[in-house]
Chains A and B, each alone.
Chain A
Amino acid sequence: MSNMTDRISGAFFLVFGLAMFFLVIPEYVEDPQGGNLSPKTMPNIVAWVLAICGGFLALRPTNHAAPDARFFLKTTAYVAILGGAIYAMSLVGFLYVAPVLALVLMLMIGERRPLWLGVGVVLMPAAIWFLVTQLLERALPG
């Protein structure tokens, strides 16, 4: 049932396009008078293109197969870590978060060699700090 992937994504874009046209664009795009091209015109056209193509794809899918659930679970875990790192950076800054983030990621990937862990956790954040704050004279995130 590999073509279910396209049926699902096609149905999504059908609903997304219609939702944009009927709900989102009327609510979140202003419509001033005058001018050659209303701010709504292009978004509305594109919303219909999405809806029509989505419907067409749902009816005539390709054989594309999406990755399995395990892949999405692992990526969700990585995304959650990165999201948490961004939040932590907003609280304590890049310098404190970067080594921890690097360590967690390297352990999750499977790196166990102390030397390489040291390179990733100490050397790389230090090199980035030197490049950004000392050479480029810019601020680190956070």
Chain B
Amino acid sequence: MVDFSIILAGFGDVFTPFNLLFVVFGVVLGQFVGAVPGIGPVMAMAIAIPFTFGLDPLPAIAFLVGVNKGGLVGGAVPAILMNTPGTPDAAATAMDGYPLTQQGKPLKATKMALFSSITGDTFSDIVLITVAAPLAVLALKMGPVEIVALMIFAFSIISGLMGESLIKGVIAAALGLMISFIGTDPEHFTPRLIFGFWDLFDGLALPSVAIGMLAISEILRRMAEGRGTEGQGILVPDTGNPEDRRVSWVEYWACRYTMLRGATIGTILGALPGIGSTAAAFISYAMTKAASKEQESFGKGNLHGIAATESANSAVVGANMIPLLTLGIPGSVTAALIISAFMIHGMQPGPLLFQNQGRLVYGLFGAMIMANFINLWVGQAGLRLWVKVVSAPKAVIFSSALLLCFVGVSMATNGLFGVTVMLIFAVFGLLMHSFGYSMVIFIIAFFLGPQFEKSLSQAIALLNGNLLNIYTSPVAVALLVLSGVSVFWFLSKRTNEEADTTNLGVPDGETLDQKNP
């Protein structure tokens, strides 16, 4: 276990003005981009990662965590004011938030979203801080054989839960793996699939692939779909009654069980790879509505509806870090971006992280808690400003974002070759999205590919060259059986079905059609 003095030192590191400043920057930027429909925290994080190269690891990671957390709060603003969620997570928020706006209570709705978001987020952060270290100790007992089995299990779950069908999920994962094989192979160090381009000898740079697929392709899609036209000014109605501009303690306290339920759902789903915040929000909303005695008021401006969705989608953020920090497996695209930032800053996510860089991990935990408080303050102060941001001209935002992507990838890859690769993967991502393949699965597989192959090579050595000797590891056998069961289950349930609200193949930042669960 990590020494208590290291835990204290880690938490103490956050309280330097410099580190706190970057948390504030991150939260402000996150709320800003969350409030702009079409950008979103994932795109912002992808763009921001190369700009953190010059920073120390803690302020860099704290900044990115701030962007992510702030983005979830900001995403609720356009959902409530315009019925246009800034992030998919906020789609369910619009169902009760927008009716409140129509009733002249937009500030009450946005404040409820803010308070419940921070409540859910803090809950899951506490769970993360409590369980991550013990889980990491357990994970340390796993060898390459178990890690291979665990990755196969993760692939089977992610492929089944994301996207339109299991088959398409498997294809996306296989494509991600195939692309990850470009470069030297991890055992013999011979070049593979580089087609004479020696710039590819070290493989494709994650920033090029991630920014191309997540940011550029999304911007291209929005521009082509004509969503990037001039921002329209919005008229925010107001009853003039001060009671309609705030959330009283009584109203907040009345939603305590709703928020607790949402936070619990978000934490559980966030800890599992592949599910995510959109599903958590809709499930929480559906359960809250089912448990309510006033079901007919949902969809007409019930504060419980906002509390249910916002507490759940924000609780996913902290819980997402559990598999990331303990196993090194990103459960979502946000986690994949954070993990890439970790590696850029010399941190190797996984169980050894707590032993080798415990102080940094607890610094990160401290930054997460501080980001919640700052989210509250910035949210309180900035809500009126974000209302203006909602109607910012998309042409300026998209062209600026594209320029930032060019510069960021060029800095990350030291030249225009990486920028060209970024554009190629933007087209690739656009085609994947157009044909219904999940980019999120692709990127997670691309990220895990080298580790998977390395662990498989080590596992074969440990099993004396015969994979059938795997019976010597009951944990690996159990995980493989679970993988088989989950594949069978997903095949029987999902093949040829339309994706429902748990479909996370839709990239973050995309507006979802709101469904009434």
Which A residues are closer than 8 A to B by beta carbons? 5-6, 8-9, 13, 20, 24-25, 28-30, 32, 35-37, 39, 42-43, 46-47, 49-50, 53-54, 56-57, 60-64, 66-67, 71-72, 74-75, 78-79, 82-83, 85-86, 89-90, 94, 98, 101-102, 105-106, 108-113, 116, 119-120, 124-125, 128, 131-132, 136-142
- Given A39-B190, A86-B420, also A79-B427 (CB < 8 A): yes
**A6→B498 CA distance, assembly (Å):** 13
Which B residues are closer than 8 A to A by beta carbons? 51, 53-54, 164-165, 167-168, 170-171, 174-175, 177-178, 181, 185, 187-188, 190-195, 216, 220-221, 223-225, 228-230, 393-396, 398-400, 402-404, 406-407, 410-411, 415-416, 419-420, 423, 426-427, 430, 434-437, 453, 456-458, 460-461, 465, 495-498
Nearest-CB distance from A17 to chain B (Å)?
8
For A109, the chain B residues whose CB sits under 8 A away are: 223, 228-229, 394-395, 398-399
Instruction: Evaluate contact between B224 and A75: CB separation under 8 angstroms.
Output: yes
Majority secondary structure of chain B interface residues (helix, strand, loop or mixed): helix
- Given A50-B171, A78-B224, also A136-B51 (CB < 8 A): yes
Nearest-CB distance from A116 to chain B (Å)?
5
Instruction: Evaluate contact between B193 and A28: CB separation under 8 angstroms.
Output: yes
Nearest-CB distance from B229 to chain A (Å)?
5
Instruction: Evaluate contact between A105 and B224: CB separation under 8 angstroms.
Output: no
Identify B411's interface contact among A78, A98, A138, CB under 8 A: A138
Instruction: Evaluate contact between A47 and B393: CB separation under 8 angstroms.
Output: no
Q: In the complex, given contacts A28-B194, A53-B171, A94-B407, what are 20 additional A-B residue pairs having Cβ atoms less than 8 angstroms apart? A: A5-B436, A9-B435, A28-B193, A30-B188, A35-B188, A36-B187, A36-B457, A39-B190, A43-B181, A46-B177, A60-B496, A62-B497, A67-B225, A67-B434, A75-B220, A75-B430, A85-B406, A109-B399, A140-B407, A140-B410
Nearest-CB distance from A97 to chain B (Å)?
9
Instruction: Evaluate contact between A37 and B224: CB separation under 8 angstroms.
Output: no
For A120, the chain B residues whose CB sits under 8 A away are: 395-396, 399-400
Return 20 A-B CB contacts under 8 Å, by A number.
Answer: A5-B436, A6-B436, A13-B171, A28-B193, A36-B460, A42-B177, A42-B453, A46-B181, A53-B174, A62-B498, A71-B434, A78-B220, A89-B406, A102-B403, A110-B228, A110-B229, A120-B395, A132-B411, A137-B54, A139-B411
Instruction: Evaluate contact between B396 and A63: CB separation under 8 angstroms.
Output: no
Instruction: Evaluate contact between B423 and A83: CB separation under 8 angstroms.
Output: yes
Identify B465's interface contact among A36, A63, A72, A128, CB under 8 A: A36
Nearest-CB distance from A132 to chain B (Å)?
6
**A108→B219 CA distance, assembly (Å):** 13
Instruction: Evaluate contact between A106 and B399: CB separation under 8 angstroms.
Output: yes
Residue of A nearest to B166 (CB): A53
- Given A43-B181, A120-B396, A141-B419, also A82-B165 (CB < 8 A): no
- Given A71-B224, A79-B423, A86-B420, also A64-B403 (CB < 8 A): no
Instruction: Evaluate contact between A35 and B178: CB separation under 8 angstroms.
Output: no
Identify B435's interface contact among A5, A39, A128, CB under 8 A: A5
Instruction: Evaluate contact between A62 and B436: CB separation under 8 angstroms.
Output: yes
**A111→B492 CA distance, assembly (Å):** 49
Identify B495's interface contact among A60, A98, A138, CB under 8 A: A60
Identify B399's interface contact among A6, A30, A61, A105, CB under 8 A: A105
Instruction: Evaluate contact between A50 and B498: CB separation under 8 angstroms.
Output: no
Query: Which has the most chain B C-beta neighbours within 10 Å: A61, A105, A128, A139?
Result: A105
